[in-house]
Structure 1
Amino acid sequence: MAHAAWNKRWIKPEIFPLFAAMGAALGICGFAIARNIAINPDVRISKEDRAAGILENYNEGKSYKDHSLREYVKDCKPEIMPGLNRFFSASK
């Protein structure tokens, strides 16, 4: 009985975009948390690493900051639709 009421309330076509947006937001947050825990040089999980204090690991921090996506878009112009921008800004 309660399952049928839940289905009647939440399983509607109007709710699917909300589920998609929430799923995407949770996915992005999960990715960011996992990336920081796994490879961030400032995050130390083990007790031995935390006892080391502040490390002068500039090269490790630079490699974390300049990841492969940032290297890929480094030389690109910050445009979303470059063809459309060229069409409307070209001299006639």
Structure 2
Amino acid sequence: MANRWVRPEVYPLFFAVGAAIGICGFSMARHMCINPEVRVNKQGRAAGVLENFSEGEKYTEHLLRKFSRNRSPEIMPGINGFFTDPSRN
């Protein structure tokens, strides 16, 4: 019976859906636990709007953003430069 439902052609779909669910779960957990604008407990919600710029800056400027800030927005800059740089011709 399981042979009829789980075929080898479906494994990439399972992987893609699993990866998407994992990314969504990571994002949700990050926002729930670290985001300074999200308050889950009653005391935090009672505080209202806080002018907490340093905590917001720390949340926004995470390691991936710092790493990619001064890099070109290309996936493979070496290959792109090889095929598009006119001085190489």
TM-score normalised to the size of structure 1?
0.90
1:82 aligns with 2:77: yes
Of 3, 8, 13 in structure 2, the residue corresponding to residue 18 of structure 1 is 13
TM-score between both structures, scaled by the size of structure 2: 0.93
Unaligned runs of at least 5 residues, structure 2: none
Give CA-to-partner distance per residue, 1:41-60, whole Å, 9 cap, x none.
00001100100000001111
User: Number of paired residues?
Assistant: 87
The counterpart of 1:40, out of the listed 29, 35, 40, is: 35
1:53 aligns with 2:19: no
Structure 1 unaligned regions, length at least 5: none
| Deviation by residue 1:29-76 (Cα, 9 ceiling, x = unmatched) | 000000001100000011001000000011111111110110011110
Percent identity, aligned pairs only, is: 53
